[in-house]
Amino acid sequence: MTKEDLRIVYMGTPDFAVESLRRLVEGGYNVVGVITMPDKPMGRHQDQLSQSAVKKYAVEHGLKLLQPVKLKDPDFIEELRSLKADLQIVVAFRMLPEVVWAMPHLGTFNLHASLLPQYRGAAPINWAVINGDTETGITTFFLQQEIDTGNIIQQVKVSILDTDNVENVHDKLMMLGGDLVLETVDNIIADNVRPIPQEQFASEEPLRSAPKIFKETCQIDWACGVKRTYDFIRGLSPYPAAWTTLVANGKEQMLKIFKTEKEFCTPTAPVGTVLLDGKKSMKVALKDGYLNLLEIQLAGKKRMHIEDFLRGFHAEEVCVR
């Protein structure tokens, strides 16, 4: 079988999934269908529809597109079966029922943004950075019943720099993911795949999960110290963004923080105290030093560098909590 003969159905939703789809299409692989999420209502009156990044790409390139509300819907199952896929590829989509993932005779494989079995779940990139990891990677694996537990096909490792935020790591993994998806497909075509159970990749390090991130997940705990708070902020930057409550002149406002700089020392102020140095710097006291705030955003305002923020900021006593 050649790549032109292999019938592929591709499933994905966000930008992260577009790169692998683009590589398949531009590489001449036979993508017979694309599955993505239904359009989402948006706007104040929920009267506008937002298309997924994968849908936009599929429409632009004339690909067969399906947007099922329910993946067990009989009409969807019938239409999916009519595509006669040999292989299905899933990148940043949703949990599939067995009737879907077991359909192709060559199986369904997923591209996951971690070194499985570490960081099973919805937000592996965020949690790797939040936890201060210095290495992560991508994994292709065949789907089975339990989420993110299937036999591993291939893995690629990548370093996480101390200055990386989620956006940097996301983009690295997205590009490497495009390479790995094509390599995995080529190995399947060549019958050169020998999947390995995830248990064989286990180490003495405890397994960490990557649960979905909600607004309350993003609230900063200033009691954690400089390093952990620094990692927490970059692990949520630029989206959905770590936040805190800024108290200035008795007024409370939500403050998102996107970029900071570590300063280890013995602080001279209680944890959560905000120190201002004229119109140049703003830093928060922690138990083992300070975090210099470099890029922030007050609720209702635009994101800005600290110097720009301080030009219009006037307060005597300031703290965060």
pLDDT in tens, 152-199: 999 999 999 999 999 999 999 999 999 999 999 999 999 999 999 999
Question: Has 116 been labeled as part of a binding site?
Answer: yes
Question: Has 14 been labeled as part of a binding site?
Answer: no
**Whole-angstrom Cα distance, residue 232 to residue 242?**
7
Question: Has 293 been labeled as part of a binding site?
Answer: no
- pLDDT tens-place string over residues 275-285: 998 788 999 99
Instruction: State whether 54 and 171 are in the same domain.
Output: yes
Domain total of the chain = 2
In the predicted structure, residue 295 carries a pLDDT above the cut 90: yes
Boundary residue ending a domain (209, 236, 255): 209
Instruction: State whether 175 and 60 are in the same domain.
Output: yes
Specify if 146 maps to a domain: yes
Instruction: Say if pTM beats, i.e. exceeds, 0.85.
Output: yes
Instruction: State whether 26 and 56 are in the same domain.
Output: yes
Instruction: State whether 43 and 75 are in the same domain.
Output: yes
CB 30 within 8 A of CB 6: yes
Residue 272 region by backbone torsions, left for phi larger than 0, else alpha for psi between -120 and 50, else beta: left
Q: Tokens representing 290?
A: 């300070």
Specify if 108 maps to a domain: yes
Instruction: State whether 15 and 157 are in the same domain.
Output: yes
Question: Has 83 been labeled as part of a binding site?
Answer: no
Host domain of residue 105: 7-209
CB 8 within 8 A of CB 89: yes
Specify if 1 maps to a domain: no
Instruction: State whether 12 and 121 are in the same domain.
Output: yes
Boundary residue ending a domain (209, 242, 266): 209
Instruction: State whether 163 and 296 are in the same domain.
Output: no
pLDDT value at residue 43: 67
Boundary residue ending a domain (209, 238, 266): 209
CATH no. for residue 181? 3.40.50.170
Q: Taking the CB of residue 66, how many other CB atoms lie within 10 A of it?
A: 15
CB 45 within 8 A of CB 124: no
Instruction: State whether 42 and 185 are in the same domain.
Output: yes
- pLDDT tens-place string over residues 112-151: 999 999 999 999 999 999 999 999 999 999 998 888 999 9
